[in-house]
């Protein structure tokens, strides 16, 4: 598969103060592209701004605030003249069992992980449509295909994220706009920090279960986030980029196993499923 690099692309990246957002922002600038980097605290990017001057525009942005999203996108477009690649990276994880987490806990997480992403997408689409091109990348997770206990609501946000982007890809292809879902496995980023985790109020009955779960997580082999930029660049430089792209080597085996198990279950119950189809003597209008 051939990849052709187009230089001087303009990127709009959310959640750039740490983790993948910070690593990718720096790598994009190093390769000679331009970045509108958003963060709740843009001063965290002061060092990069000093180094890369006019190639970096830093913007304060809380993606849960619709007016801020619209203003940030408009400022970035006015500053650079176009937006070629948009990466929705801002997200956090809610830690708590299904019973422990409140509706308010879940709603707040969805405001960032889903509605914040939607706000950015809806703000950039008119610009990309007018350009006749663009590439929207959403940072999901391998948990967009499989789930874990204790972070089930976070997983659910990624399942929703996946469905939204799959529909989006079909809808905007006609305008020359591409969509890719980036699905990282476990990485040694700050995603496990206090800023990227929120904890539901605990129930004592789950304490031992959660302790065992966190012990399991400690043993996960984590990838190096600084190893990811070249793979990301292959995706954005591809003439026909994939809709889904795993970051790291551990996700595909787990997802392959999960889907094999699902297919086996559906097939085992196929006769009962088919019996539920019934026959319809006449079509209802």
* Residues designated catalytic: 140, 154, 158
Radius of gyration of the chain (CA): 21
Cα 40 to its chain centre, rounded Å, is 17
What is the C-alpha separation between 120 and 265, in angstroms, rounded?
Answer: 38
What is the C-alpha separation between 77 and 241, in angstroms, rounded?
Answer: 24
What is the C-alpha separation between 102 and 140, in angstroms, rounded?
Answer: 23
Closest CA to 44 of 185, 195, 186, 228: 195
């Amino acid at each position: 598969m051939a990849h052709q690099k187009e230089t001087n692309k303009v990127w709009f990246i959310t959640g750039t103060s740490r983790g993948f957002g910070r690593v990718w922002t720096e790598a994009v600038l190093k390769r000679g592209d331009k970045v509108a980097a958003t963060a709740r605290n843009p001063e965290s990017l002061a060092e990069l701004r000093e180094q890369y001057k006019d190639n970096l525009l830093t913007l304060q942005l809380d993606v849960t605030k619709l007016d801020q999203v619209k203003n940030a996108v408009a400022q970035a477009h006015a500053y650079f003249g176009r937006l070629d690649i948009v990466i929705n990276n801002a997200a956090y994880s809610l830690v708590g069992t299904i019973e422990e987490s409140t509706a308010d806990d879940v709603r707040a997480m969805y405001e960032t992980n889903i509605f914040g992403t939607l706000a950015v997408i809806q703000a950039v689409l008119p610009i990309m449509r007018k350009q006749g091109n663009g590439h929207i990348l959403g940072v999901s997770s391998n948990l967009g295909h499989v789930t874990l206990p204790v972070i089930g609501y976070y997983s659910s946000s990624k399942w929703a994220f996946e469905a939204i982007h799959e529909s989006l890809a079909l809808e905007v292809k006609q305008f020359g706009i591409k969509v890719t879902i980036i699905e990282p496995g476990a990485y040694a980023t700050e995603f496990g920090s206090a800023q990227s985790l929120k904890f539901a109020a605990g129930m004592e009955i789950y304490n031992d279960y959660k302790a065992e779960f966190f012990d399991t997580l400690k043993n996960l082999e984590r990838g190096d986030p600084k190893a990811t930029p070249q793979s990301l660049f292959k995706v954005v430089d591809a003439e026909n980029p994939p809709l889904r792209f795993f970051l790291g080597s551990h996700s595909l085996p787990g997802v392959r196993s999960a889907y094999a198990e699902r297919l086996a279950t559906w097939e085992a119950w196929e006769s009962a499923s088919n019996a539920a189809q019934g026959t319809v003597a006449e079509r209802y209008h």
